[in-house]
Amino acid sequence: MIRFLFFLFFFSCAYKNETTNHLTYLALGDSYTIGESVDHLHSYPIQLKNKLNFKEKVLDKVTIVAKTGWTTDELIDSLNSLEINKKYDMVSLLIGVNNQYRGYDISKYSNDFEKLLIKARNYAKNKNNVFVLSIPDYGVTSFVSSEKDKKRIFNEINSYNTINKMISNKYNVMYFDITEISRLAQFDTTLIAFDNLHPSKKMYNLWVEKISNPIFNRVVKN
């Protein structure tokens, strides 16, 4: 009887270690999340996964719900249709550039982004393990040639990021400003992919270098 109880205890501990040491990650967004114009392995969610994969815990499952061109309402519609019931160890959200590009009313972004952040938190096992990335500034790329348009995009992206940061703070989630990294592309074209618009592997790597330590300390280390 004692041997049997010991076996049960040992088995349950081993099972617990196996399950808790393998983490899952849900990344929500648009083209910036899927890694448009770079290899899938070079997108920021996959680079982040590889960066965090060390020591005793393994981030071995990344689920990406994102599509090039998606606005906030399109991401909401997709999530509603998917009816995700699973809980994830970590959830990220990066969305909004297509709202700005299409000239949507910024108040719509505010309402939609809050809905999406609430959804993101509901998908997380621990609501503290959600993080938001700011919207990159595509106005510094050669996709935009007019100086007037570059300035307008600069200001509008800042306005959008003011909103998503404010809402992120309201819900006490991790927030990472990667916009300033994206603006380095005006001095270094290797930060832009071959389509002259989206981030390259190199830029995504800079994002991951910035966000990986806080995420490790919050999600993986605990």
| Tens of pLDDT, residues 65-96 | 999 999 999 999 999 999 999 999 999 999 99
The pLDDT of residue 219 is 84
pTM score: 0.89
Q: How far apart are CA 177 and CA 215, in angstroms?
A: 14
On the question of pLDDT at 17 being above 50, the answer is: no
Mean pLDDT of 106-123: 98
The CATH code of the domain at 23-220 is 3.40.50.1110
Q: What is the SS3 assignment for 136?
A: coil
The pLDDT of residue 60 is 79
> 39: alpha, beta or left, given left = phi > 0 and alpha = psi -120 to 50?
beta
State the pLDDT confidence band at 166, using cuts at 50, 70 and 90: very high
